[in-house]
Chains A and B, each alone.
Chain A
Amino acid sequence: MRKIVQYSLLIVLAFSSLSFQQQSNYDTNAKVKAVFLYNFTKYFKWPEKMRTGNFVIQVVGSNSSLNVELNKMASTKQVGAQKIEIKNSSSFATDPPQILFILGSESDILKDAINKLKGKGSLIVTEKPGLAKAGAVINFVVEENKQRFEYSQNNAKKAGLITGEGLNGLAIVVD
């Protein structure tokens, strides 16, 4: 229809009305979280045994947009010499991943995950208010229409991660 050349402005109007498309299917929040997750790899040091093989980011719960973003990220980025591997599951597996991201809908598994992964060097990330105080190392929160994150240095140490001070200035520190 748009290829028909008509010089009447009325006809121009007829096909221009409401034709401009919104990218409403693009999940900006998924992109922001993917950027955050990749950045976290720069601020933590994983135990020696976690620095070989693939760098696994395991997502528990369903978020197809996030999955797409993380896989895009994995196809273009690495963590040091490690390739990034994205695992998606509906429940928590016992193999310790480098990052375990528990989506909001699956927050109930946090306690179990903390117990099973204690000292094994898994960075546990959540996205529900209050979970940094409940044991997560990183907890995504919304502040003034922006994505930010809470950070617990104590929980990071308990998880067996070595951390620098760099993250404190960027995070909402909870302890």
Chain B
Amino acid sequence: MEAQKLCQEKKYEQAIYIIDKVVVHAETKDDPAAWHIRSYAYIQTYKQINLPTQAKTYMLDTAMVSVQKSIKLDTKKEYYENNMAFIKSASSSYYKLATILLKDSLNDVKADTNYFKYKKYYGIYSPEFDFKEKDIGYYTAKGSLFAELYIKNNFNQRYGDVAKAALLKVLELDPKNISANMNLGVLYYNQGATLMRMMDYDIDLSQLDVIQENAKKLFKQSLPFMIKVYELNPNESKALEGLEGIYNALLDEAKANEFKQKKEENQKQK
């Protein structure tokens, strides 16, 4: 086949030009080999050509549509192993794309889409695979990244909401996750502190009461997460410092002093 030969010569773009016609041709549209070659050509193009992320995603998506079509038509399982290898390779590429989209482009929606594709295709390759640890890793990275962005971008509400949703997802999977509990505690606390920090000195007293009420709700929301970190690791200095700060913000002097003392004792022991 011409397209196969072009692939062997690493002329993938020319191969794609031909194979795209082959798979719609009446005589070859049900040939698993054609779909298999198409998948290979698109995967190789994805790997070798420097394209914008969106175009790269298209290459990968087309490769996966083709490979699934090949598997469906391949009743004799002649291409099964190679098709599965393609799926494994592509799922790993989706994983990388998710990370790039998350970290470099800050595009959480597209990152999620690619992460779901990674899970979908890796699930086809390895149906028994347990994604729990991967999910925890992905959502922790997403939550931590957006929590930092929230601070660095003047407490941008959307970043804060994305961070919260991701970190809550981590806790759904792993309620004892220290990092997620810590970051959620800090996130809610910071939101409350920001409300206070941003208010003008001449705001009227009735408005001050509303702001205090809203901030109080956020400080109270932060408390169970920080307490959880403390329960999981009573020597975690950031939890002791965090609890001192939260109780101070809640004007609970006794509790704030209790954690201040614990923090100081902890520092002496270190």
Contacts and interface: CB of A to CB of B under 8 A. Distances in A.
Nearest to B179: A17
A162 interface: no
Interface in B103-154: 103-104, 137-138, 140-141, 144-145, 147-148, 151
Nearest to B180: A17
B96 A7 contact: yes
Given A9-B138, A13-B137, A145-B252, A20 B199 contact: no
B195 to A, nearest CB: 9
Contacts of A7: 96, 99-100, 103
A69 to B, nearest CB: 8
Interface stretch (A22-30, A54-62, A93-101, A116-124): A22-30
A52 interface: no
B205 interface: yes
Interface string A1-34: 0000101111011001111111110111101101
Contacts of B204: 39
B202 A77 contact: yes
A147 B212 contact: yes
Contact of B197 (A24, A26, A144, A145): A26
Q: Binding site of A, secondary structure by majority: helix, strand, loop or mixed?
A: mixed
Interface stretch (B26-34, B43-51, B183-191): B183-191
B25 to A, nearest CB: 39
A49 interface: no
Interface in A33-65: 34-36, 38-39
A20 B208 contact: no
A21 B183 CA distance: 8
Nearest to A72: B201
B249 interface: yes
Q: Binding site of B, secondary structure by majority: helix, strand, loop or mixed?
A: helix
Interface string B171-215: 000000011001101110110111011010111111011001101
Interface stretch (B9-17, B61-69, B74-82, B237-245): B237-245
Interface residues of B, number: 56
A39 to B, nearest CB: 5
B42 interface: no
Given A9-B137, A145-B216, A19 B144 contact: yes
Nearest to A140: B251
Nearest to B220: A145
B250 interface: yes
B86 interface: no
B208 A39 contact: yes
Interface of B: 95-96, 98-100, 102-104, 137-138, 140-141, 144-145, 147-148, 151, 178-179, 182-183, 185-187, 189-190, 192-194, 196-197, 199, 201-206, 208-209, 212-213, 215-216, 219-220, 238, 241-242, 244-245, 248-252
User: Nearest 5 CB-CB pairs, A to B?
Assistant: A24-B245, A16-B144, A28-B196, A12-B141, A142-B251
